[in-house]
Each structure stands twice: as structure tokens, then as C-alpha cells.
Amino acid sequence: MPAPTSSDRSVGRPGQLVVGFVARVRPYAITVRLPELGDRLGVVRRRELAWEAPAPDPTEVYHEGDQVNVLVLHDPGAGLLELSLRRAVADPWEKWGPDLRVGQVVRGSVVTLREYGAFIEIKPGLHALLPLEDIAPWRIDKIEDVIWLDDLVEVLITRVDVSRHRLQVSLRARLDQLPSSQAAGGKQPLLDTAPDVSAKAVLPQSDARVIRNVLVVDDDDSLREPIVALLSRTGREARGAANPESGAVLGIERRYDAVLMDVHFSTATDGVEAGRRILAEHPSTLLVFMTGLPMTEEDFDRLWEIGAAEVIRKPFTENDLLELLTRLERGEVLPLNRTSSPSQPTAHLAQEAVTTTAAYARLDVELADVCRRVEADAAAIFKLDLQTREVTRLASVGLSAEGWQRSHSLLAKSPIGDVILGQEVIEHRNVKSRWLGKYTNLLTLLDFDACIAMPLPIEERSLEHALFLFWGPGRTYPLAAMQQAQRAAAHLGVALERAGWEAKAIQSQRLSLAGRLSVVIAHETGGKLSGMEIRLANLNAAVQSLAANWQTASPDRVAHLQSEVAALRADMAEVLGRVGEFQSLMQSTEPNLIDVNAVVRRTVYNLQSLALNRYKVTLRAELGEGLPQCLGEAAKLDHACQNLILNALQWVHRKPATGGTVVVRTGLAGNRRRLWIRVHDDGCGIHQRLLPRLFEFGFTTRKNEGTGLGLYVTRLFVEQMGGSVGVEESLILIGTTFCIDLPVVKGR
């Protein structure tokens, strides 16, 4: 066969761009069929597949039949043409290379993982090497423990060689630039081994002491000031400090016989660290911790390790505190009070009917679609309680509220009972003439001439369900209606079962929310109640003194008593307000106008102590001004925000570095029709491949820990308000931003 001439249309000219189709794929090359060149075959070797280095594995990228644009490199005249895929597009290094600088911050997506590092696509076709040792400030054994394919990263350019097409970046260097990022070597356990109880120094009985001067450190004025007044009234010298930093300074400058120190503060330094500093300078000081939050064994061990004498739980009374000081003076052995905290509430805190309505809301939409398919005028899913014989309506189309109110008490004695109890399938025409006695009670619900009904196949047996389809006066069902209804019943059974799990998830999340809030409120009101009790005792003593010496009482003394009464009233109002907030959050209500900033402010306030003390994370709010209102339930929005904040705290806590920050921001979209709430953390980031599943029912990224309900319920609640929620951005080891988007009330 003679070689093709230069005029032959099958000849490939060097530099010619042609369209081809992948004919064969091998690990080292792909073969391309070229219809424009008389169906000749060409080869694209691996090095010519893409500009990036190393070149991708063809078997992972291409499939037979894929259309590709190639450039002819060489035509040997006979045999395979030499082709290039990468040269068919502009060289990304020529386009972007001159703009790259060492120290420049860039973003990219992870396209290749190797044992020695990852390759990041900074621009299409322009890849950078992220070495393993430049990923994080701590040791990484396996790159997959931190980075996955498709993850988004923000890195610092550390090396550029345009001539050799080499680019190197560092995530570690970028982390060092961020003020909130701390290059710690990883979290270490508080104790390497269990504490040796026998090594704890205990005052012998003969070493009785007198506690003359006491330092009280608590950020709650309503507790700290009454304690100082009580100690002064009982002949002791007392001084107060409002934060652990100033408390540590005072406790180091002067030796106090005893220090009463709150454990939990909304500052970077907690009470335990402040107490440790004081005891390091004055080991003989008796350190007593005060707390209203639950304490774990690890917490108690930490207090024991630094030399704490005792823990007193809020709320406590005047007698509790004075008795404790007396026992300390006598040198009695006081094992740390490890009594477990009160159990969290287990009562049903939400109305079941409202919870059920929220979970089953989507069934109405699906039922309407079934009606359309079978040309029915009305439809309903009924539920029969086998114990009470009460019929309820889970979803319906075409049924009036008046008809339901008129007839629902009679429906157990109707075909509904036959279908559910007898597991019957009903297909009746002309019900008024042939089946009037059977349908009498059901006809009080609505007027119809034909009916198809069948049980819904779901797992739960204590509550049985049935699907009913109705055709109005003078109408009947089509011939194919029964077959379509059976298919619809199977689908609705699955949807109903899912809705049941959704209702349980919502109820579970409400109980979880109640538990978290009860801990916070117990901590806050515990301090208030302790302060109120001691203030009342001080006030009572002052009144008795005033009664005995009323003729010589000074106006200042009377004014002081009046201020104490006013302070008591203010504390009582705050306690009642916090309890009222708790009750309102736990009760499902009808939608109302919501001040988003007020909800976010309260949510952040409720979780700040938990964030700092459990997760060692700073939580703060940055709220936009002049935001309009939206429509919904404040409790549900609060719940959604709490779930996002707790999720953020957990992601920050996972990061092997100390500290961290979660910021909740609010604002108004440019069109002023939408509000947004953003929850940003500087945690370890979420893998891009997990993002599509984050809000699915039962999906969790915390194996053996998470329930997979929090974000799912968040999505349900936000969607019920006409909004949406999702991940706006997530950068590995830098952080994640979740965003809630809500419609504003028109005209406001």
C-alpha cells in the first residue's frame, strides 16, 4: 500500500487540530480514532495527556467513545499518528506562570494524592505540589487522614520555577499566617496516668487553722458580692475578683487562707488555670472551686492534680458555705465532691401533634400527586390507634376542616376500621346505592360516589395506616386506578415510615436541646440562686441589727438596705426570665415575626460557657444592624443555630491544635429580600466529598459518636420557614462556613 501524499485528506499536518474519539485506553496511553483523517488511528502518550506533572493515569480519566480535541505532532506516513491532548489547549504556564510569586496565597482543589504529598490544581492545567511535611504543624502519618481528593485548600506559594513548570505550596505556612491558627503539636491528655490518690497532701487533724482572709473569684456580681459581704459579716477579711486573670494576680501578690474560685469563665483562662498559678506560689492556700455545670471524672482528676481542697456546687446556701469553711479550718479530710449532676429532663417537651405535623408535611404534596395520577377528587392517609380506636388524619387532599371536625369521632366504625384492622383492599363504585350502610359515617366526612382504599405497608405496628382515594358525585375511578393506587401505596408506605423517623428525630433533637440548655441555665441560675440566698441572709442580719438600733440608724445604712432589696428583685427577674426563655424554646408555637438578631444573640450567649469550658473554643456573635424580621418559630430557628454552632465547635475540637474560634454573623442580602446567618469556624474543614450528604437523615461524620440527626433536623426547621441551609465554603485545616438563608417579611 503506497504511503499517503501531502494532498491526501488522511495526512496529518504537524500543528493541525482535529476532533477524535477514544478507541482504546491503556495505563500508558490512549488510542484515538480520527474521522477527519479518514478514520486513521493516533496515539496520545501519557506525557501528552495534560500539562500537569505527574500526568494522570489514562484509565482513571478516559473511556472508550469519549470525544477529545487533539493536536497532531507527527505523521509517520504509515501507522499511528503522534498526538497531543495538552498542546490542543493553551499552556497554562504561559498564561498564568508570570503572575505567580513566592508568598502569594492561592486556592485550589486536590487532584492527586501521593505518599509524599498532594497535587493541587491552582488553575486549569496548572498544578502545584503540596509536600506531606508542609500540610500541617503536626506530624501526619497518612495523607488521607487529613486530605482527600477534591478537597478545597488555601495555600502559600513557597517555590516557583516557570521554566521547568514547577510550583510548590505550603498549607502549614498559610496556617502560620492566620491569627486564629495555632501551630501546636496536638492535644495532649490532661493526665498521662491516673492520679495517685495517696500522694495528695491532707491536713492532719492537729493542723487546725483559722481562715481569716478569703479571695472570691467569680464573674457573676450577684454571687461574688454577697459572698464577700457574708464573709465580712462573719468576721473574715474578703476580697472579690471578677475574672480569673485578676484573681490570679491578687492570689499571687498576697497569700490568702482560702480562695473560692469559679471553674467556668467566658475567658481564655479558666478557673482551674488561675487556681494552679495561685497554688504554685502559695501551696498552703486552701483552694475551693465553685461550679454549676456537670463535672466529668477527668475534670475532677484535673482539680485533684493541681491540689484543690474541695468543690462546692451551685446553688449553695449560706450554711453550706460556712460549714465548708469550718470543716476546712478543722482540717477535716474532704474528698472532692464528685456527686453526679442532676439528670437531664426526660419529659416530652414538645407537643407531639405539632412535631408530627412538621415531619409529615411533605406527605400532602405526595398525596396530591397521587390524586392527579388517578384523577381522584380527594384522598387521605388515616391512622388508627389500636388501643384507643381513635382515627387521625396524617395527610389529606380535598377534605375540609369542617367535615373532619364533624365526623372524625365516628370514623373508627367505617371502612377505615375494616381496611386497617382487617387488612382489606376496597374497590367500590356507587357507594350510596350499594354500600350506603357501610359508608354512612365516612360520608359525613365528604360527599363521594366511588372509593379505593388499602392498607399502607410499613414496619411500625402499634399505629396502623391506610390510603383512601375518593371520586365525587357522578364520578368513578378509571380502569387503571387500582394498579396505580397499589404502586402509590407502596411508595407512600416508605414515605410514611420515613416521616415517622423524622418525627422521632425532631423529638429527639428537642430533648437533646433541652438537655444542653438545662445545663447552661442550671449553671447560670445556680449562681444567681446562691447569691440570692446569701444576700437574703445578709439582709436579714442587717434588718435585725437595724431593728435593735433603729434610733441611731444612719441614712446610708437605710439606703444600703434598699439597694440590697433592689438587687434581689433584679436577680429574681433575671432568673425568672431565663426560666421563661427555656420554657418558650421548648414549646412548639405557631409561626410569628422573629427578630433574628435577638435569637442569635441568645443562642450564642447560651453556648458561650459550653464552648469555652468543654471545647476550649471562643464563641462570639457579629450582628448586622437594622435587619428586618422573618416569619417562623423562634424555637426552631434557635434550635437550628444551636445545631450549627455545636457542629462547628466539634469540628474545631477535632483539629489537633489548641484553641479556636466560632463566629456567628447575621446580615441582609443585596436585594434586601433575604436574611443570612453564617456560622464560621477555624476547624479542620469538611471534605468536599462529604458535603452532598451532610444534611441527610442518619448521616454523620463522627463514627460511634454522632447520631446523624442534628444537621438533618436543622434543614427541616429552616425549610419549614421557607429558607435553605448549606455549606458556603470549607477549606481543609482553615475552616468551614455554614449559611442559613431566610426570606424577610414583605413590607417590613
CA-closest candidate to residue 484, choices 455, 459, 452: 452
Identify the three-state secondary structure at position 357: helix
- Confidence band (pLDDT; 50, 70, 90) for 524? low
Q: What pLDDT, on a 0 to 100 scale, did the predictor assign at position 615?
A: 84
d(CA 137, CA 180): 14
- Confidence band (pLDDT; 50, 70, 90) for 206? very low
Percent of the chain with pLDDT over 90: 36
Written in H, E and C, the secondary structure of 410-465 is HCCCCHHHHHHHCCCCEEECCHHHHCHHHHHHHHCCCCCCEEEEEECCCCCCCEEE
Distance in Å from the first CA to the final CA of the chain: 83
| Segment 15-57, tens digit of pLDDT | 899 999 999 999 999 999 999 998 999 999 998 888 766 677 8
**Fold matches, 94-177 and 346-588:** no
| Segment 589-612, tens digit of pLDDT | 567 889 999 999 988 988 887 888
Q: What pLDDT, on a 0 to 100 scale, did the predictor assign at position 577?
A: 53
Q: Which residue ranges make up each domain of the chain?
A: 17-88, 94-177, 200-330, 346-588, 592-743
Minimum mean pLDDT range among 262-276, 541-555, 664-678: 541-555
Domain 592-743 grouped into CATH 3.30.565.10: yes
pLDDT of 89 higher than 60: yes
Task: Report yes or no: 631 and 592 within 8 Å, Cβ to Cβ.
Answer: yes
pLDDT of 384 higher than 70: yes
- Confidence band (pLDDT; 50, 70, 90) for 508? low
DSSP single-letter state for residue 196 = -
Higher pLDDT, 72 or 221: 72
Top-confidence range, 95-109, 384-398, 558-572:
95-109
CA-closest candidate to residue 293, choices 266, 318, 326, 268: 266
Which whole-number Å values give the CA distances from 579 to 326, 517, 640, in the listed order? 34, 10, 20
CA-closest candidate to residue 11, choices 75, 71, 69: 75
| Segment 455-490, tens digit of pLDDT | 887 665 445 889 999 999 999 999 889 988 988 888
d(CA 579, CA 413): 46
Number of H helices, E strands in the chain: 18, 27
pLDDT of 439 higher than 50: yes
- Confidence band (pLDDT; 50, 70, 90) for 497? confident
Q: What pLDDT, on a 0 to 100 scale, did the predictor assign at position 51?
A: 75
**17-88 falls under which CATH superfamily?**
Nucleic acid-binding proteins (2.40.50.140)
pLDDT of 350 higher than 80: no
| Segment 294-319, tens digit of pLDDT | 677 777 878 888 889 888 887 777 77
Higher pLDDT, 280 or 562: 280
Minimum mean pLDDT range among 185-189, 248-252, 326-330, 445-449: 185-189
Mean of the pLDDT values across residues 173-183?
72
What's domain 346-588's architecture?
2-Layer Sandwich (3.30)
What's domain 200-330's architecture?
3-Layer(aba) Sandwich (3.40)
d(CA 30, CA 24): 6
- Give pTM, 2 decimals: 0.54
d(CA 100, CA 92): 12
d(CA 724, CA 714): 10
**Helix segments in 331-399, DSSP class H:** 352-374
Q: What pLDDT, on a 0 to 100 scale, did the predictor assign at position 451?
A: 94
Cell numbers at residue 161, please?
520555577
Task: Report yes or no: 12 and 37 within 8 Å, Cβ to Cβ.
Answer: yes
Q: What pLDDT, on a 0 to 100 scale, did the predictor assign at position 513?
A: 56
- Confidence band (pLDDT; 50, 70, 90) for 352? very low
Minimum mean pLDDT range among 137-146, 405-414, 568-577: 568-577
pLDDT of 183 higher than 70: no
592 DSSP β-pair partners: 632
Q: What pLDDT, on a 0 to 100 scale, did the predictor assign at position 188?
A: 30
What is the chain's length? Answer: 748
- Confidence band (pLDDT; 50, 70, 90) for 359? low
- Confidence band (pLDDT; 50, 70, 90) for 586? low
Q: What pLDDT, on a 0 to 100 scale, did the predictor assign at position 423?
A: 86
Crossing angle for the helix pair 481-548 and 555-586, nearest 10 degrees?
A: 170
Mean of all residue pLDDT scores within the chain? 80
Mean of the pLDDT values across residues 123-139?
91
pLDDT of 727 higher than 90: yes
CATH number of 94-177: 2.40.50.140
| Segment 151-165, tens digit of pLDDT | 999 999 999 998 888
| Segment 247-286, tens digit of pLDDT | 999 999 999 999 999 988 867 778 999 999 999 999 999 9
